[in-house]
Amino acid sequence: MLDICIDQGSKLDIQFNPSKSCLFKSGPGYIQLLPNLHIGNEPILWVDKLKYLGLYFDSGKRLRLIFYR
């Protein structure tokens, strides 16, 4: 799927930046190892904490939302 996005993005003159992307998982199987994904030849890093739209998410058996002030 990522290869399709990269191919279509290149046709539209869009470049994806793997250093500004990350992989995040949560839920009962969050410990399960998943394959590494790449954008082009660059790997996308797996993270345990994620900031999105000013909210912080923490992975685990349950997704936790963390508020910082």
Residue 60 domain flag: yes
pLDDT at 69: 65
Q: Which residue carries 């793997």 as its tokens?
A: 18
* pTM of the model as a whole: 0.66
Q: Region 49-57: what's the mean pLDDT?
A: 86
- Residues of the chain with pLDDT > 90, as a percent, come to 6
What is the DSSP pairing of strand 45-47 with strand 42-43?
unpaired
Residue ranges making up the domain that contains 69:
22-28+42-69
Is residue 47 a part of any domain in this protein? yes
The pLDDT assigned to 13 comes to 93
Domain count, the chain: 1
Look at residues 64, 63, 50, 60 and name the one whose alpha carbon lies nearest to residue 29.
60
Q: What is the mean pLDDT of residues 8-30?
A: 86
Q: Is 7 exposed, middle or buried (0-12, 13-18, 19+ CB in 10 A)?
A: exposed
- Specify if 66 maps to a domain: yes
Residue 59 lies in a domain: yes
What the block records as the tokens of 53 is 């739209």
